[in-house]
Amino acid sequence: MDIFPPMLCIKFLDALPDAVIAINPDHRIIVWNSTMERITGIPREQALGKGNRFYSMTVFGEPRLMLVDLVLDPGLEKEYQGSYRKYGMNYYGDGTVTVKSNKNEVFYWAQASPVFDQDENLAAVIEIMRVKSSDSLRESEYNLRRITDNMSDLVSELDCHGNVIFASPSHYKVLGYTEERMMTIKLSDFVHPEDIPSVISALKKSLQTGKAGISHHRCRHNDGHYVWIETVGNPILQDGKIRGILLSSRDITVRKQLEQELRYLSIHDSLTSLYNRTYFEEEMRRLNSGRCDPVGMMVFDLDGLKLVNDTLGHEAGDRLLINFAGILSKCFRSGDVVSRVGGDEFAVLLPQTNQKALDRIAARLNIMIGEYNQSNPELPLSVSLGIAVKKDRRSSLRDIYKEADNRMYRSKLRRSSSAHSAVVNTLLKALQARDYMTEGHGERMKNLVALLGRELKLSDSTLTNLELLAQFHDIGKVGIPDRILFKRESLTEEEYREMQRHSEIGQRIALASSELSSLADLILKHHEWWDGRGYPFGLAGEQIPLECRIISLVDAYDTMTHDRPYSKAVSPQEALEEIARCSGTQFDPNITALFLKLLGYSG
């Protein structure tokens, strides 16, 4: 190979501000540009053709490996004195050299790359070194310091023994430690005891493998609280060996809190704060292994919840769910899995719990529910329960759950009538408390409908229904908000539609009670008008059940003649005049005529 490249190539290389050297496969110099002359003080003519690492003697003052040598023989990497990085066949490094012409030490970045001929054979290796003056170096150091002083991330350097040899000022902002304190601090002083093993493991792995590692851990703030930190560690290579590790960390406390909140939300019921079905299923799979046998299973269903929701509203139903969840939370151990697994269904997994223990818990729970009902008669709890036990590995918790669930439903069927009656009685009490069955309203209506019914020669069974209807026709108003029921001004269209719902709500309540189920259809239709302008169906004339036509008239009369929270009473004569006026529109004209006659209205 020709030692001297063409003149044009020489001029081109001399024009570069970077130092350029190239050697052939025999390690002899074939390129030495003017910047190399300035740095080393060696003219090009003396350098070209020299071997035996002459180039490193002139640059470093001693025979040592340069990046060009690593390109020719990567096996020499372990002997290289300095830091380097390798990408493909190229090597990159940095360091300092002393310029012979002015004795100034300069910082340099270097890149060495192979050069191939037209046959793809290695022809040479070229190394380019970009040098910076001491002033430029100081400016770079100043800029770097300014960055580290103001960055929010934490930057630190550890030696191979884990000692801190550099810490950015941001440690004080995030952890409350000065740079000086960080230099003396030990890992055990500020890493959470539970996280120390994983941090040490990550550091060791990074130092041993030379690869970057990442860890999440808690660091103790100088004032005592803990901060979640994410740390990325990159090994520092020097002279082909790992000399330490560079750590880049950031505060991830907010992220961890969000992760914990999301995890909490993912496994808890948002209404009751008990575990949800997802977590219940997870724990059922975990406990199925047999290590915690016997495992008890208790399944609960809140009786009458749909009826409460339909009549008193979902807020009342939600209160029942929350109150029952509170009782369950007090009744079980911290290690038991207390869950809401459906709308009105709850389930509890009890590790290492046998049948006798479950029976004791069930008895205690019944006592607690009884005490709650005594304190909350306006909205009592009625609960159906099913129990089963996984005794050993031969049985599956999935099957045990089904067994407990079936037992719960059998219990619910046995007590459904009494449970619904209890809910209906509660609703009646609520209705009385809201002034709809006070001041003798029910008794007066019963007397009037009986009088009218006898005049109409109704059967005894129809008279009985009429008397019951007189008492319960407005039971659905228990589900209407007070702001509408007791409003003194005229109702808005939306409020009027809400008020009309009371007949439908009343029907649902009646259907839930064996004692009232025969009245359900009558309660639904007791606001229909003779001319078809009533609700909910717009029935007209004799399409409206007779009992409803009677109740509609009697209820209107009694309401007008007695004070209500939203209206003052009128005289019986005025009330009868209004009823006479509405004959044939709101009221059945035949029944109206008889009613007016019975009460002595002459017109």
Is 146 domain-assigned?
Answer: no
Alpha helices in 473-492 (DSSP H): 482-485
Comparing 273-287, 325-339, 377-391, the range with the smallest average pLDDT is 377-391
Pick the last residue of a domain from 102, 134, 166: 134
**Nearest Cα to 244, choosing from 163, 356, 152, 148?**
163
Which residues are bridge partners to 112 per DSSP?
91, 127
- Of 4 and 325, more confident: 325
Comparing 284-298, 427-441, 495-509, 555-569, the range with the smallest average pLDDT is 427-441
**Percent of the chain beyond pLDDT 90?**
42
- Angle (CA) 147-148-150 rounded to 5° is 70
User: Mean pLDDT over residues 562-574, rounded?
Assistant: 85
Question: Can you tell me the distance from the alpha carbon of 40 to that of 54, in angstroms, rounded to the nearest whole number?
Answer: 11
Residue 589: pLDDT band (50, 70, 90) is: very high
User: Mean pLDDT over residues 534-558, rounded?
Assistant: 95
pLDDT for 1: 44
Contact 510, 523 (CB under 8 A): yes
Burial of 469 (0-12, 13-18, 19+ CB in 10 A): buried
- Angle (CA) 26-27-31 rounded to 5° is 115
Question: Can you tell me the distance from the alpha carbon of 100 to that of 110, in angstroms, rounded to the nearest whole number?
Answer: 19
Pick the last residue of a domain from 371, 392, 409: 409
Assess whether 234 and 107 both reside in one domain.
no
- Angle (CA) 133-139-141 rounded to 5° is 100
pTM for the structure as a whole: 0.57
pLDDT for 541: 95
User: Mean pLDDT over residues 235-256, rounded?
Assistant: 83
Is the pLDDT reported for residue 508 higher than 80? Answer: yes
Assess whether 591 and 444 both reside in one domain.
yes
pLDDT for 222: 92
Assess whether 124 and 181 both reside in one domain.
no
Instruction: For residue 348, give the H/E element and its range.
Output: strand 345-350
Print the SS3 string covering 103-133.
CCEEEEEEEEEEEECCCCCEEEEEEEEEEEC
| Residue 601 falls in which region: left (phi positive, over 0), alpha (psi -120 to 50) or beta | beta
Radius of gyration, CA atoms only, the chain: 46
Structure tokens at 533: 């302008």
Question: Can you tell me the distance from the alpha carbon of 396 to that of 488, in angstroms, rounded to the nearest whole number?
Answer: 62
End-to-end CA gap in the chain? 136
Q: Of 82-96, 249-263, 479-493, 554-568, where does the model show the most confidence?
A: 249-263
Assess whether 450 and 349 both reside in one domain.
no
Task: Compute the mean pLDDT over every residue in the chain, rounded to the nearest whole number.
Answer: 85
Assess whether 449 and 589 both reside in one domain.
yes
The total number of structural domains in the chain stands at 4
Which residues are bridge partners to 97 per DSSP?
106
Helix, strand, or coil (residue 460): helix
Assess whether 122 and 159 both reside in one domain.
no
Is 335 domain-assigned?
Answer: yes
Is 221 domain-assigned?
Answer: yes
Question: Can you tell me the distance from the alpha carbon of 196 to that of 444, in angstroms, rounded to the nearest whole number?
Answer: 81
Is 388 domain-assigned?
Answer: yes
Is the pLDDT reported for residue 194 higher than 90? Answer: yes
Assess whether 485 and 341 both reside in one domain.
no
- Of 11 and 322, more confident: 322
Instruction: For residue 508, give the H/E element and its range.
Output: helix 493-511
pLDDT for 239: 60
pLDDT for 550: 96
Question: Can you tell me the distance from the alpha carbon of 158 to that of 247, in angstroms, rounded to the nearest whole number?
Answer: 8
- Of 6 and 65, more confident: 65
> At a CB cut-off of 8 Å and minimum separation 6, what does 304 contact?
382, 419, 420, 422, 423, 512
Burial of 471 (0-12, 13-18, 19+ CB in 10 A): middle
Is the pLDDT reported for residue 139 higher than 70? Answer: no
pLDDT for 240: 63
Residue 489: pLDDT band (50, 70, 90) is: confident
Q: What is the pLDDT of residues 27-61, one digit of tens each?
A: 899 999 998 888 888 898 998 998 877 888 877 77
Assess whether 405 and 444 both reside in one domain.
no
User: Mean pLDDT over residues 137-162, rounded?
Assistant: 68
Question: Can you tell me the distance from the alpha carbon of 232 to that of 216, in angstroms, rounded to the nearest whole number?
Answer: 9
Which residues are bridge partners to 215 per DSSP?
231
Question: Can you tell me the distance from the alpha carbon of 479 to that of 501, in angstroms, rounded to the nearest whole number?
Answer: 9
Which residues are bridge partners to 216 per DSSP?
230
Is 63 domain-assigned?
Answer: yes
Assess whether 243 and 302 both reside in one domain.
no
Place of tokens 């100081």: 138
Is the pLDDT reported for residue 78 higher than 90? Answer: no
Structure tokens at 486: 């007791």
Q: Distances in Å between the alpha carbon of 504 and those of 341, 431, 437, 441, 507?
A: 30, 16, 19, 22, 5
DSSP symbols for 203-244 = HHHHHHH---EEEEEEEE-TTS-EEEEEEEEEEEEETTEEEE
pLDDT for 530: 96
Calculate the dihedral angle through the C-alpha atoms of 233, 236, 240, 242, rounding to the nearest 10 degrees: -60
Sheet holding 19-23, edge to edge: 29-32, 19-23, 122-132, 105-116, 90-98, 84-87
Assess whether 246 and 274 both reside in one domain.
no
pLDDT for 157: 86
Assess whether 586 and 442 both reside in one domain.
yes
Helix, strand, coil shares, percent, the chain, to 5: 50, 20, 30
CATH code: domain of residue 71: 3.30.450.20
Residue 339: pLDDT band (50, 70, 90) is: very high
- Of 422 and 495, more confident: 495
- Angle (CA) 242-247-250 rounded to 5° is 165
pLDDT for 4: 47
Structure tokens at 481: 């908000």
Is the pLDDT reported for residue 235 higher than 90? Answer: no
Helix, strand, or coil (residue 449): helix
Instruction: For residue 21, give the H/E element and its range.
Output: strand 19-23
pLDDT for 142: 55
Is 373 domain-assigned?
Answer: yes
Is the pLDDT reported for residue 262 higher than 80? Answer: yes
Q: Which domain holds residue 530?
A: 434-598
Pick the last residue of a domain from 409, 444, 478: 409
Q: What is the pLDDT of residues 364-373, one digit of tens each?
A: 999 999 999 9
Q: Could you tell me how far CA 32 lies from the centroid of its own chain?
A: 66
Q: What is the pLDDT of residues 436-485, one digit of tens each?
A: 544 577 788 889 999 999 999 999 888 888 988 988 888 888 888 888 88
Assess whether 578 and 455 both reside in one domain.
yes
Interaxial angle between packed helices 305-312 and 314-331, expressed in degrees from 0 to 180 and rounded to the nearest 10: 140
pLDDT for 246: 87
- On the CB side of 375, how many CA atoms lie within 13 Å of its CA? 7
Q: How many CB atoms lie within 10 A of CB 240?
A: 16
Is the pLDDT reported for residue 362 higher than 50? Answer: yes
